[in-house]
Amino acid sequence: MVKDEKKLLAEFQAKIDKGVKIEPKDWMPEHYRKQLIRMMSQHAHSEIVGMLPEGNWITRAPSLRRKAILLAKVQDEAGHGMYLYSAAETLGIDRTEMLEQLHTGKAKYSSIFNYPTLTWADIGAIGWLVDGAAIMNQTALAKGSYGPYSRAMVRICKEESFHNRQGYEIMCSLAFGTPEQKAMAQDALNRWWWPAIMMLGPSDDNSPNSAELMSWKVKMESNDSIRQRFIDRTVPQGDHIGLTFPDPLLKFNKETGHYEHGPINWEEFFNVVKGNGPCNKARLKARVDADKDGKWVREAAEAYAMKHTEKETLAA
Ligand code: FAQ
């Protein structure tokens, strides 16, 4: 490493240690840039692919009120994807390239969106558990070192918080409804609990990126620590509405003040991440088809913008 680069690196780390945000035009190590592009593009893809399981229920929502709320939520997720692609573009990667990586299977997106939404209660479970887990992670990311990412997180967290409440409200209505409705809520909890726990990433002893990301304050907390907070917050909410968690080893430890849980099936997690979950192929196909079907709209918009620029240039 040349001397200048050593100095730059020391100054960069000192800024991070002091809590000063890194901005797009600031000097940054190449690996910091690459790690951020990886994480932010995966996050953006997750928001966009994450629209699919819930989108599946928009036309089948049980009332106009539920439909309007779900429609707004799914649109919010699209917005989150857009902020995140824009924030990632500040690091020098183009949106087309990120989408190409998603469509060719080079880029990941969250494991959780490879599970199916079989009943209306799954919409409640996603808001309560998936958005609940996402908030735990994202409120930590909002304090992260990269300015554009952390600022995008502040707004996203506010919206996720509404998503989380709407999901829990659906679960409350079902849990206090007819025996059939309660059974539907319980079934959704049974199917979404473990995948939601897993979506927070592999355990700390198997998380190759964490140490580096934490030293750069991109990640503020480890996967296991966020997972524990999510469990501690969510279990009393389930207890309160009379649902049971599909984990016979789940118990509160008075001494530590935390819930202890049973073993996580990491084999299932890595299998889903590798592309073998119940919906991986369908999710990717839906995104690839949407890209293909939307090509003419992008081309028309580009042609329109070009025509206007020409007119303005001639008029000037
Ligand atoms: N799925 O070393 P680590 C949402 C991969 S947004 C798939 O621990 P890292 C909102 C990981 O990429 C949900 N792959 O990795 C919503 C790495 O592979 P790589 C998304 C996963 O980066 C709600 C390898 O495993 N949120 O839900 C997963 O330090 C409802 C080793 O792992 C974000 O993306 C997974 N779950 O920690 C939308 C937040 N976990 O890339 C619609 C930003 C790990 O080296 C509806 N991201 N992997 O080949 C993060 O906070 C982190 O990237 C983690 C992973 C915590 C996800």
Read off the pLDDT of residues 27-61 as tens digits, 9 standing for 90 and up.
999 999 999 999 999 999 999 999 999 999 999 99
Distances in Å between the alpha carbon of 255 and those of 227, 237, 240, 259, 316?
Answer: 19, 21, 22, 10, 74
Ligand 1 atom having least distance to the Cα of 111: 1
User: What is the reported pLDDT for 65?
Assistant: 96
Q: Is 84 exposed, middle or buried (0-12, 13-18, 19+ CB in 10 A)?
A: buried
The residues, any chain, with a CB within 8 Å of residue 198's CB and separated by 6 or more, are: 111, 112, 264, 265, 266, 268, 269, 272
Report, in angstroms and rounded to the nearest whole number, the Rg of the chain calculated over CA atoms.
21
How far is Cα 64 from Cα 163, in angstroms, rounded to an integer?
Answer: 17
Query: CA-based angle 283:285:290, to the nearest 5?
Result: 100
User: What is the reported pLDDT for 2?
Assistant: 61
Helix (H) or strand (E) holding 212: helix 210-215
The per-residue pLDDT for range 147-183, each reduced to its tens digit, is 999 999 999 999 999 999 999 999 999 999 999 999 9
Ligand 1 pocket test: pick from 39, 111, 158 the residue with the most ligand atoms within 8 Å of its Cβ.
39
Entry pTM: 0.96
User: What is the reported pLDDT for 130?
Assistant: 98
Dihedral, CA of residue 238, residue 70, residue 103 and residue 207, to nearest 10: -20
User: What is the reported pLDDT for 307?
Assistant: 87
Ligand 1 atom having least distance to the Cα of 110: 1
Which residue stretches of the chain have pLDDT < 50? none
Q: Could you tell me the distance, in angstroms and rounded to a whole number, from the CA of residue 117 to the centre of ligand 1?
A: 21
